Amino acid sequence: MRDKKGTIQPAPGGDNKPVAPPDLWEKLDALRPKAPTRPQGGFTFTEFQRKFGLTEGKTRVELKNMMRGGKLVKQGVYYLIP
C-alpha cells in the first residue's frame, strides 16, 4: 500500500509485502496490444510455406517476387491478393 506521499507501506498484517491495486489486471490488459484480425483471403508466411512445401528462403523469394509484380500486398503479418 502507499501512503499519501506515495511511499510503499507494509500491508496490513505486518508481512511487509506490497499490495497490488485491485484493478491491476484491467490495467495490464489495457496495455496489451490487440491481436490483428485476419483479413478475408489473407494468409501468413508460414501458411504459404507449408501449403507449397517450400524452404524459408524460397518462400521469402517467392512472396517478394509476387509483391513486386503486384500480385500480392502485405497487411501486417498477412498477405492478400489485391
Q: For 12-62, what is the HEC assignment?
A: CCCCCCCCCCCCHHHHHHHHCCCCCCCCCCCECHHHHHHHHCCCHHHHHHH
* Cα–Cα distance for residue pair 77/26, rounded to 1 Å: 27
All structural domains of the chain with their residue ranges = 45-80
pLDDT (tens, 9 = 90+) of the chain, 82 residues, equals 566 777 766 666 666 677 788 899 999 999 988 877 888 999 999 999 999 999 999 999 999 999 999 999 998 888 999 8
Neighbours of 79 (CB within 10 A): 21
| pTM greater than 0.85 | no
* Cα–Cα distance for residue pair 82/22, rounded to 1 Å: 47
